[in-house]
Amino acid sequence: MLQARSSRWILAVLCLLPAGVIAQAPPELRQAMRARDLAVAKADAVTWDRLTTADFTVVTPGGTLFTKAERLAQLKQQKPDTLRPVLEEKISRYGDVGVRRMRRPASAGEVWIMDVWVKGARGWRVAAVQVTPVAKQ
C-alpha cells in the first residue's frame, strides 16, 4: 500500500516537471560543447567566438569576471595546449537552456566548471561560465 502511494506521488511530481527538465542533452548540444572545449585548448578564437553569446561572461577561480571581449583577447594570446580530460560531468537540459557541470584537472589541482548554454537561431552557444577550485579534503 505504502509503495503504491509512493509510486503514484513520484509519477505525479514527474508529470509536473517541464519536459525539458528530464530530457537528455541533444547530440547537437554535446557537439557544440565538445567543439568549444577544443577551441579553448587549441586557442581557436574563430570557433570559440561562433559558439559564444555576445553577452557572455566567465568568472575565474580567483573571482575575476571577464566579458566576451576580454576573454576573446586572452584566447588570442594563448598558446595551444592539450584538452584536459573530463573527470566528472553532468548535463541537464531545460527547454532551450543547457547546464553542464564538470570537474577537470587544472594547473593547480582540479576545478569545477559550470557552463550555461542557450539555443537560438544560431544553434547552441554558451552564455556564462563559472570556474571554481575543487575543495581539498
CATH 3.10.450.50 for domain 21-133, yes or no, is: yes
SS3 54: strand
CA dihedral 92, 33, 84, 50 (to 10 degrees): -150
Domain boundaries, the chain: 21-133
Output helix, strand, coil percentages for the chain, rounded to the nearest 5.
35, 35, 25
Q: How far apart are CA 68 and CA 90, in angstroms?
A: 24
Residue 7's pLDDT band, with cuts at 50, 70 and 90, is very low
Q: DSSP secondary structure string, 55-112?
A: EEEEE-TTS-EEEHHHHHHHHHHPPP-PPPPPSEEEEEEETTEEEEEEEEEETTEEEE
Question: Residue 109: pLDDT above 50?
Answer: yes
pTM above 0.85, yes or no: no
Average pLDDT across the chain, whole number: 87
Return the higher-pLDDT residue of 12 and 78: 78
Quote the pLDDT of residue 107: 84
